[in-house]
A and B are shown apart, each in its own frame.
Chain A
Amino acid sequence: MEKEIKICLPFYKIAYSIFFIAVLILIRGLNFTFEIGVALEPQLALLAAVFCAETYVQEITSGRSEVERLYPMKNRMIAIFRRTGIQEIYLLILSAVGYGMFYVVQRPISFYSMPSFTGSEAGLFLISMAAFTVTLVFWGIFSVLLSSLFRNMWAGIGGCLLLWIVTNSTIGDRFLGKWNLFSYAFRDVEDRGDFSWVCGKIISIVVSIFMAAVLPKIIKNGK
């Protein structure tokens, strides 16, 4: 595991991801705490796509994939999934820290301090983290899949960017509604009982499982 961490989390990736979140915290103004999730989720998706794009492609560009073709497929796939997982866990931790930093830097108002609202900030945080987890898993694996398919990191990032632009837009929200990948960011924040955004997350999970199942075939067929 330690070696995998060294391979998939080099210093430059840690540096740019922290910088990205720091800039986001500084430039994205918000008034209420429920906006933190809205502010973070789409940006985390983009970060996950860029972050995970080289997970397998680095094996191709370095020539190691030629040697690794001789290794058992199961071991190769375990390594790829482990690396993707490590990166996603790192990004989840970073998103939790970023969530907290929004409190510190922007000092947003909590709805829960008002008598008419029930619930807690901790609950909001946990729900946001659950939504972020699904988002990170989806965009991470989608990026790995595309870049492995086209054997090019930029193809992975570009493909993700296209989907991101479509789904993270008013058009995406209008057409896909609660089934949108960013249903959590587009939810009606004032309706506390509305959990229809979970549909979008279920779609994300199902598609992620499908992509994870297809990935070994892509890796195996890659010359």
Chain B
Amino acid sequence: MSIKINDLSVIFKNGVKAINHASLEIPKGIFGLLGENGAGKTTLMRVLTTVLSPAEGTVSLDGMLYSEGNYEKIQKKIGYLPQEIELYPGLTVQECLEYMGDLAGVSKELCKKRISCYLEKTSLTEHRKKKMRQLSGGMKRRVGLVQALLNEPEFLIVDEPTTGLDPEERIRIRNLLVDFSENRTVLFSTHVVEDLAATCNQLAIMKKGEFLYSGGMRELVEEAKDHVWLCKVSQEAQARELERKYHVSSKQFVDGGVQMKILCENRPDINCMPCEAALEDAYIYITNRERIVIPELAG
């Protein structure tokens, strides 16, 4: 299962171009979609789930073109967990999943089997009789994930599933996504870099409706190599001056001053040393490259 997006543009009714001539290929396995809030990730997912129609460009799923005539076939292959969803609060977990399975057209017996299987995998079996409103945020997200899997989709789309969760739940959700990416394509959208670092090998970075990068995680980190610098200043005023002049990806107080990680195309004109790039540095580098290349523009 692979998804090809070719020269895609989405324009809202108010004229805002949410996606601007974007092209991407999503291979089998888990694929990360990274970008700041408002980058166009959710819009892209809404196109992939057939909620929105593109103004220009094409999308195809395993060679099947997204068009009105193919929507029904495509929809059967997709499972979706939107960023914000409130599943029926008055129903129990079991009832809610049975109801949604029924709506999805999954036969009752098969649905019950799948519910048992996925509740087991998501460690929710003991909570199956609890009402949806009684569950924690993380549990609700896991039920949402089970809901998305009821029709055994070949393409699973999850929009920021870890937002607002505690670290333990985030790790659990991430691990589940990796488990579920076996034999299917999972598109995992987030603005949390470490979520992708822990789950994906392939990712795309979006900003203002465009793909700034798509490819492997290692290659992304490689892009920022030799552009990350570590420096230490003794006074906070100096630190502020550096922040004004350069793109600072991290800052912390240490003994005798402030330690800063600077992203700069060339060695900054201060006392500093090259530093190994992390995924977060690479993401900041890619999304702010123009300002980093010409530091005078920073601030």
Contacts and interface: CB of A to CB of B under 8 A. Distances in A.
A and B from one complex: yes
A66 B47 CA distance: 11
A68 B88 CA distance: 13
A7 interface: yes
Interface residues of A, number: 18
Interface residues of B, number: 32
Interface string A67-93: 111111001100100000000000000
Contact of B49 (A62, A63, A64, A70): A70
B159 to A, nearest CB: 9
A10 interface: yes
A6 B103 contact: no
B95 interface: yes
Nearest to B52: A223
Interface stretch (B20-28, B76-84, B263-271): B76-84
Contacts of B79: 70
A223 B51 contact: yes
Nearest to B50: A69
A64 B83 CA distance: 11
A220 to B, nearest CB: 10
Contact of A3 (B80, B95, B104, B147): B95
A70 B98 CA distance: 16
B99 interface: yes
A70 B86 contact: no
B90 interface: yes
A66 to B, nearest CB: 5
B84 A63 contact: yes
Contacts of B88: 3, 6-7, 64
Contact of A66 (B82, B90, B98): B82
A75 B102 CA distance: 8
Nearest to A4: B99
- Most chain B CB within 10 A, of A7, A10, A64, A70, is at A70
Given A6-B91, A7-B88, A63-B84, A70 B78 contact: yes
A72 B72 CA distance: 8
B90 A6 contact: yes
Contacts of B148: 67
Contact of B51 (A7, A64, A66): A66
A7 B98 CA distance: 13
A67 B52 contact: no
Interface string A1-45: 001001100100000000000000000000000000000000000
Contact of B46 (A7, A66, A72, A75): A66
B102 A62 contact: no
A71 to B, nearest CB: 5
B156 to A, nearest CB: 11
A10 B132 CA distance: 14
Contacts of A7: 88, 90-91, 99
B165 interface: no
Given A66-B82, A67-B85, A10 B90 contact: yes
B104 A66 contact: no
B38 interface: no
B91 A62 contact: no
A66 B75 contact: no
A137 to B, nearest CB: 24
A202 B177 CA distance: 55
Nearest to B151: A70
A75 B84 CA distance: 23
B99 A67 contact: no
B95 A71 contact: no
A68 B75 CA distance: 10
Interface in B48-80: 49-52, 72, 75-76, 78-80
Interface of B: 46, 49-52, 72, 75-76, 78-88, 90-91, 95, 98-100, 102-105, 147-148, 151
Given A70-B75, A75-B102, 20 more contacts: A3-B95, A3-B99, A7-B99, A62-B86, A63-B82, A63-B84, A63-B86, A64-B85, A64-B86, A64-B88, A66-B49, A66-B51, A66-B85, A67-B85, A67-B100, A69-B51, A70-B79, A70-B151, A71-B103, A72-B72
Interface of A: 3, 6-7, 10, 62-64, 66-72, 75-76, 79, 223
24 contacts: A3-B91, A3-B99, A6-B90, A62-B85, A62-B87, A63-B83, A63-B84, A63-B85, A63-B86, A64-B88, A66-B46, A66-B82, A67-B82, A67-B85, A67-B148, A68-B103, A69-B50, A70-B80, A71-B103, A72-B104, A72-B105, A75-B102, A75-B104, A76-B103
List the 4 shortest-distance A-B pairs measured between CB atoms, nearest first. Answer: A63-B85, A62-B86, A70-B75, A3-B99
